Structure 1
Amino acid sequence: MTMGAEERPWTRAEDIELKKARTAHVPWDVIVATFPTARTLLELKRRCEELPRTRKAKPQKKWSATETEKLLQLRDVERKPWPQIDAALGRGAGQAYSKYREIKQPAARVRVSTSDRRSPATDRVLEAIAKRDQRSMLTHASITAAVFGDPLPGQSALDKRIGIAP
């Protein structure tokens, strides 16, 4: 295509032909050589980028007991890969895996309150951490105390000598 030449409009037939060739992973040089109308490589690539990419997702439908049994049979007994299981069940990509995880890991969906499963030892550790955090937020009483290295409120100068960390 030369500069100043007007670009011809694309027809629906050309769009369909181009999309069909790219979906089949035909190389660009073959597409240029065999394209029904005379189009340059640059025109074909630009048009391919402009064409909408449609991916038809299968609608999510409820799982029946029969489908669930078949899913477990295909995965646990026959050890089929997920794409084959999706195809065998007529499901979209990833739906069988999601259902399988839901069946096998039901605890992942239930949240347990931490207060229901705390031991006394855990409480002591949490209290010590809270005290440490409170001490770390303390500041020196004055600038002079900070300059001369006086201990923070609630601490002793002896703590440093015997190796007790604040």
Structure 2
Amino acid sequence: MREQLGRPMRGVVGIAARCVCGNPTVVATEPRLADGTPFPTFYYLTHPGATAAMSALEADQVMKEFSDLLADDEDVAAAYSAAHAAYLGDRAVYGEVSEIEGISAGGMPTRVKCLHALAGHALAAGPGVNPIGDLALARGDWSPTRCTCVNPGALPGVA
């Protein structure tokens, strides 16, 4: 993770999703860091290819399109609200932090703010949990089904 981000990670409680080669893709972090800082982003996207893909989508203004979909489609809005509740439930296992009570990540449950956070949640929770995260992963030029790591990890022969 240090190699992926170029700095030490803070508050990591586990690897929430991995690349097909075994390297981390998403980490789970404590809701309060060791220095006391509240940290609402429970699922933190670490894979360089995934983060670059989400940055490219954000630069292409895809968040506006996804926000419009959220406003126009009741089923997507309901699923996004459920994703928000699931996210909060996952994080609550590691403690409640009053400063971030009811705050998940990525703009949930009413807007689309950060595709990195939403994709991280979608990768950690699996397909069908976060509809906007799923759409972002489908639209980006990175895929969790193929390795793009510089140094593939755990699985021999994967490149």
TM-score band by shorter chain is: under 0.3
TM-score by length of 1: 0.18
TM-score by length of 2: 0.18
Say which structure, 1 or 2, has more relative contact order (CA 8 Å, 6+ apart). 2
Higher strand share: 2
